[in-house]
Structure 1
Amino acid sequence: MKRVASPHPQWRKSTHSNSMSGDCVEVAGVGDMIALRDSKAPNGPILPLHPTAWHNLLARLKDG
């Protein structure tokens, strides 16, 4: 993922999100961090992750 230092990150929805139920996670590169947010609350809290933590999270999710 391209990380850009921008006050307006380009959020992307997870391909595994269910648009019918509204349960969506969005991700964006912010500076040298990866940011996650709930798409139902775009002005709500953001979870910033170091790229290593992001990759570890993805690996754990894939492992089930």
Structure 2
Amino acid sequence: MTELLAELVHEADKLNPQQMAVGLEAVGKMIHMGLQCASTAHTRMQWAQAKAKAGSGLRGNDGVGVYVQE
């Protein structure tokens, strides 16, 4: 997406503010989504490590990373 925006800027005689705004919003959304995915993966990894360390003292509630102490 950033490459597309760079091409538009380099090739355009006149910049279209709407196209630029939409492109920048898309980049922002993709960055936000990437950060959410990384955060979720990190949390799940931490839970898995805690579960492995505690042995059977933790059990998964629904298999999605929610654990309760037994």
Q: Of the two structures, which has the highest relative contact order with CA contacts closer than 8 Å and spacing of 6 or more?
A: 1
Task: Identify the structure with the greater strand proportion.
Answer: 1
TM-score, length-scaled by structure 2? 0.26
Task: Identify the structure with the greater helix proportion.
Answer: 2
| Structure with the greater alpha carbon radius of gyration | 2
